[in-house]
Structure 1
Amino acid sequence: MSDETMRWAAAVPAANHPGGALRRWARGWWAVVHLVLHPFVLGLHLTALVLLITGTALVPVVGTGLPLLLLARLLVAAGARLERYRLAAVLDVRVPAPPRHPRATGPWWRRVVLDPRPWRYAGHLALVSTFGVLGAGVVLALTATGLAALAAPAVSAALGHAGEHAWPFGIPGTVRAPALLVVAVGVLLLAAAPPVAAAFAAVEVQVARVLLGAGRGEREAELRRRVVTLTETRSRAVDSVEAERRRIERDLHDGPQQRLVSLAMQLGMAKRALDRGGPEAARELLEAASGSATAAIADMRHVARGIHPPVLTDRGLDAAVSALAAASPVPVEVEVHLPPGQRPSPTAEAIAYFCVSEALTNTAKHARASRAVVQLWHEAAPGAGLLRVRVSDDGVGGAAPAGGTVADGGSGLRGLSDRLAAVDGRLHVDSPPGGPTVLEVAVPWAAGGGR
């Protein structure tokens, strides 16, 4: 097989293969279920539409339509939420609700009447009440007729009208057809129901994305808000990196650098002692220099662990967090429930590791806790999901207000919050006075790009 043929075969959608087509046909029955549910919600939708139209028409009449309009808005919003839930539950199609508008200016009645969202929702309910109900009727007719055709020969035989021509049910004066042909027609009608339902449902899904989702103005407002947020988080991330650089410089200056200076001085003194013929004094100085070298190595390892531990790269979060727990002066229990054979992105791993490291450091320094628990797991979410981290202890609390705000929780927590904000992560701290303290982190599984 040539390379061009292989590339063409790989580009063919799975639904074009027999197995894919069969699975697609089977999924079409969910579209049948979705359409069949239309008549059950028709009453709510029609009531909301009638109230909305009547209330709008009566608003100029000394405002008599405003109560109806307010009630209609509530019903329209409820109908929109019901449709979003139905699309997600039956068709596995999620249509996010548009973001809330900032508080607008002007008279309240003007905001009520001119808010575009209820009108878009009402347009979708009108579509569901017409096109959707029409699709439900077509699909129900196909399904019911197909089932009747399959059952017709058996029912005709049970009624004593069995024979070569037994359709439908052997009732005199009706059209007759061979039983085998009747069954074949029934099979064809039932086979046609899922594709027809899928076509109707596809139209509904596209319209729902337009009318139930965010409008153009809302999308632009959300993009502007996103740009502002990214600008702020970028600035905080730069400040966080600069603070981390200064911390590393301070750690190097206060630890390994002082050890190495002491080591150099001890070696120089040992050399002069040997030159003067004092081997015992030189031996003592060399032993002190050996101790300084060992301490310098330990300090360097500590600083390197604060930058990015090699065990995190080589063996992953489970081993790295277990090493942190083993080095903690407070007994720590570690629970890791990550998908076997899968690892989050290096950025997500590093952020989760430093969150655990900071939390355990605070526990050891300030919490006066007798034990701590670290939990890591994967949470399903749109996209690749989330890497969730929870660190709890039984200490005295007070790391941050009980509501989870980290603004007053110390520079370490603020640094973690800034680092998480740069990758759309979240940090929540619950640490009331008297404890316990619970720190929860959510990091996008593929933050900064996957492996």
Structure 2
Amino acid sequence: MEGRQRLTERSSVSAGNREAGPRPLYGAETWAEVGHLLLSFPMGLVGFVYTVVLLSLGVGLAVTVVGLPLLALGLLGCRGLAAVERLRVERLLGEHIPAPSPLAPRRPGVAGRLAAMLADGLSWRAALYFVVLLPWGVFTFAIALTVLIVGWPVLPWVVRSLAAVDRMLAVSLLSPSELSERVRELEDDRGTVVDTAAADLRRIERDLHDGAQARLVALAMDLGLAKEKLDHDPQAAARMVDAAHGEVKLALQELRDLARGIHPAILTDRGLDAALSSVATRCTVPGGVRVTVDLDTRPASAIEGIAYFTVSELLTNISKHTTARTATVDVWRSDNRLMIQVHDDGQGGATTNTPGTGLTGLTERIHAVDGVFMIDSPHGGPTTITAELPWHTRSGNPAPQAEGRTS
């Protein structure tokens, strides 16, 4: 869909970040590069001394109690110096290097934090950067100073060449690893999935306890009383049995509603078109809900379930919290993504900024499968919510084929 943004934005660290085209030979950009080259020597000296002294002490004392903590703190300091260096490169060379995610220990406690520091690849690459930066900084300092004094005519070309090497060095060693960032994203997603599943189980348990279970307990008591009255007051017993019959119907309806909220049979048997049309009939907007599903095949079962839950939750919100008179649901496939768009003409103002709301839960659920959730809901309306889901799950299992288009 044109104009949509991916949830997980990965910033480019290539030279394409900078504006292309000719630039003044002795303009501000050239002088910024000169400043960077002159500063590389003192920055490299500070980083080299810090890195060599602390890491050497940490490695040398690794067999003692203080060795590994000292090494970990040294690496953490290298990570901090790398942040300063990324800022210097961005301000003076115009090269944006994305900041890494914060360290996230896999195990709780001091041992977990220590292990995370020692295993952080960016910290080790930052240490290597400062070891390399000192000799390179001495060289660039000498060359830049020389051309400033005696090589004025060739200054722009020399400075530009040296700055290009600086950019390459910083980008290669100070950028977060794509693999490590992806692993961190997957770990965050796994936590979201676990939390969502736990919340769903609590909701099901609460609904069973407060709804069908309580009704069935009352039903058993009523039938017990009816049994006692059967001999001496059959008419009263018949009335109680008739009331119990009504309670059974209500209990069955509650169980059906609960099952529909988990994974309705109509979704399994007939797909999204029929399932979403059924959900739309329960939406209370006066003008009704128009559902359009344009899918030749069916996505993965898990993705179908998330799509159904998303539309069901959004239509419920429209019924409860908006003054909408009409609503539409559109579902289609775009390349290898399942697209969902729900629109209503209500008063708007929908947001995910409030923790614990239904929209926040939907955002977390969709993000957990590498999906995108976007809200366009200005105050005064209308509201358009777009969800983008992968066609397959991460395991790559093929989606079941639809036997025919459901109308």
TM bracket, shorter-chain basis: 0.5 to 0.7
The verdict on how the C-alpha distance between 1:254 and 1:290 changes in structure 2, with shifts beyond 3 A counting, is same
1:305 — aligned with what?
Answer: 260
Structure 1's consecutive aligned runs of 4 or more residues displaced over 3 angstroms after TM superposition are 63-69, 107-115, 215-220
CA 218–308 in structure 1, closer or farther in 2 if over 3 Å, else same = farther
Local SS of the residue matching 1:363:
helix
Letter in structure 1 aligned against 2:389: V
Look up the match of 2:211.
Answer: 255
Could you tell me which residue of structure 2 aligns to residue 397 of structure 1? 348
| Partner in structure 1 of residue 251 of structure 2 | 296
Check the 8 A contact 2:32/2:93 in 1, yes or no.
no
Match of 2:220 in 1: 264
Q: What is residue 79 of structure 2 aligned with on the other side?
A: none
Of the three residues 282, 289, 312, the one matched with 1:332 is 289
Residue 368 of structure 2, aligned match among 422, 429, 442: 422
Q: Structure 1 residues 303, 399: closer, same or farther in 2, change over 3 A?
A: same
Structure with greater contact order relative to length (CA < 8 Å, sep ≥ 6): 2
Tell whether the 8 Å contact from 1:346 to 1:450 is kept in structure 2 after alignment: no
Q: 1:302-332 CA distances to partner (integer Å, 9 max, x unpaired)?
A: 0001111111111100010011011222211
Q: Deviations over 1:122-178 (max 9, x none)?
A: xxxxxxxxxxxxxxxxxxxxxxxxxxxxxxxxxxxxxxxxxxxxxxxxxxxxxxxxx
The answer for the alignment partner of 1:225 in structure 2 is 181
Match of 1:285 in 2: 240
Report whether the alignment pairs 1:238 with 2:159. no
Q: Percent identity?
A: 42
| TM-score, scaled to structure 2 | 0.57
Could you tell me how far apart the structure 2 residues matched to 1:379 and 1:252 are? 39
CA 1:376 to 1:279, structure 2 compared with 1: closer, same or farther past 3 Å? same
Counterpart residue identity of residue 332, structure 1: V
Matching of residues 80-91 of structure 1 within 5 Å:
none
| Distance of aligned partners of 1:432 and 1:293 in 2 relative to their CA distance in 1, 3 Å threshold | same
How far apart, CA to CA, are the structure 1 residues paired with 2:178 and 2:365?
22
> For this pair of structures, how many residues does the alignment match?
256
Gaps of 5+ in 2: 1-19, 35-81, 98-170, 400-407
Matching residue of 1:273: 229
Distance 1:291 1:371, change over 3 A: same
Summarize the Cα distance change of 1:108–1:305 in structure 2 as closer, same or farther, 3 Å threshold.
Answer: closer
Q: How far apart are the structure 2 equivalents of 1:102 and 1:398?
A: 38
Q: Name the larger-Rg structure.
A: 1
Q: Residues 218 and 376 (structure 1 numbering): CA distance in 2 closer, same or farther, change over 3 Å?
A: farther
Quote how far apart the aligned CAs of 1:432 are.
Answer: 2.2
Would you say 1:111 and 2:93 are equivalent positions? yes
Identify the match of residue 450 of structure 1 among 387, 391, 398.
Answer: 398
User: TM-score, normalization: structure 1?
Assistant: 0.51
Deviation at 1:373, TM superposition (A): 0.5
The answer on whether the counterparts of 1:378 and 1:388 sit within 8 Å (CA) in structure 2 is yes
Alignment of 1:404-415 (within 5 A): 406-408=352-354, 411-415=357-361
1:373: which partner in 2? 328
Q: Is the 8 Å Cα contact of residues 370 and 395 (structure 1) preserved in structure 2?
A: yes
Q: 1:445 to 1:283 in 2, by over 3 A?
A: same
Task: Label 1:64 to 1:326 Cα distance change in 2 as closer, same or farther (>3 A).
Answer: closer
Q: Residue 41 of structure 1 aligns with which residue? A: none
Does the aligned pair in 1 maintain the 2:90–2:96 contact within 8 Å?
no
Partner letter of residue 184 of structure 2?
V
Structure 1 partner of 2:141: none
Paired residues for 1:335-346 under 5 Å:
335-338=292-295, 340=296, 342-346=297-301
- The structure-2 alpha-carbon separation of the partners of 1:278 and 1:358, relative to structure 1 and needing over 3 Å to count, comes to same
Task: Check 1:258–1:107 CA distance in 2 against 1; reply closer, same or farther (3 A cut).
Answer: closer
Residue equivalent to 1:352: 307
Query: Which string of whole-angstrom CA distances, capped at 9 and with x for unpartnered residues, describes residues 257-307 of structure 1?
Result: 111012101110111011x32111111001011000000000000000111
Distance 1:347 1:107, change over 3 A: closer
